[in-house]
Amino acid sequence: MAELPPLGDQVKAQLGSVCAATIATELFNRGLRNCFLYGVKPLNAAHCRFVAEAFTLRYIPSREDIDDYTIYHKPGHPQRVAIESCPPGHVLVMDCRNDPVGASGGDILLTRLMKRGVAAVVTDGSFRDSPTIAELGFPAFAAGQSPNISLVRHHAVDMQVPIACAGVAVYPGDVLVGEAEGVMVIPRHLAAEVAAGAVERDLSEAFVMEKIHAGASITGVYPFSEETKREYEAWKAKRRK
């Protein structure tokens, strides 16, 4: 696949204005059914919105004869390198095989990411120091919480490779959108198309909600009948004046 330019501000703004459910429907209509990170939740729902390209980190199970605390002193340790390499504006996404027993990181590592300008961090494992992380005002999503260090269960092996996070394929550069309900993964080449479709869908559903609040049945309204579609187009044109 050809390398794509950085994600534009307009696409980021569009994706940042819609909910996970809207994005999920747009992806479903393009044949994609496994793009939501089930079980991965924000530590602080008041500080969880983000739109960013993925920088990936993969773990395998740890092994007792290799993974003692001295491993962190070795040059090139992938977890430490990822913390210092994830570009500003990107999201660090970690594949921990849905195992929350060992933490993917703690408040020191996440504070460093935040200070470096990273947009968010996502793991299908857990975080330690979770109460402190929740107070950072930094989008942090995890499947659990654990005081254990990562080496209890995880051995970091490589970065910027395709990974599985919460059972979803995440490729470097894919676009992740985080909000209170969770995290959606959008293939990078579909980001602009999905963003535009999601904005239009949100607008159409605002019209539907007006109709429902006014007492309308969902029949012929959700989804649109031809008559309702014409009514929506007139409603939309009036809003734009």
DSSP state letter for 106: -
- Check whether residue 110 and residue 133 sit in a common domain: yes
- Distance from C-alpha of 139 to C-alpha of 137, rounded to nearest angstrom: 7
- Give, for 16, the enclosing helix (H) or strand (E): helix 9-16
| Residue 205, in any domain of the structure | yes
| Residue 23, in any domain of the structure | no
Specify the range with the lowest mean pLDDT, choosing from 2-11, 18-27, 63-72, 198-207: 2-11
- Check whether residue 66 and residue 170 sit in a common domain: yes
- Max Cα–Cα distance, the chain, nearest Å: 70
Confidence category of residue 239, pLDDT binned at 50, 70, 90: confident
What's the mean pLDDT in 140-165?
97
Of 202, 180, 187, 181, which Cα lies nearest the Cα of 14? 202
How many domains is the chain built from?
A: 2
Structure tokens at 181: 């309900």
Residues spanned by the domain of 203: 194-240
Q: What pLDDT does residue 75 have?
A: 87
| Residue 161, in any domain of the structure | yes
Confidence category of residue 2, pLDDT binned at 50, 70, 90: low
| Residue 144, in any domain of the structure | yes
Tens of pLDDT, residues 62-117: 999 999 999 999 889 999 999 999 999 999 999 999 999 999 999 999 999 999 99
Question: In the chain, where do the E strands start and end?
Answer: 41-42, 50-61, 91-95, 120-123, 126-127, 140-142, 144-145, 154-159, 163-165, 168-170, 175-179, 182-186
- Check whether residue 234 and residue 138 sit in a common domain: no
- Check whether residue 64 and residue 138 sit in a common domain: yes
**Helix, strand or coil, per DSSP, at residue 119:** coil
Q: What pLDDT does residue 56 have?
A: 98
- Check whether residue 93 and residue 203 sit in a common domain: no
- Check whether residue 67 and residue 176 sit in a common domain: yes
Tens of pLDDT, residues 176-198: 999 999 999 999 999 999 999 99
Per the model's pLDDT, the better-predicted residue between 231 and 239 turns out to be 231
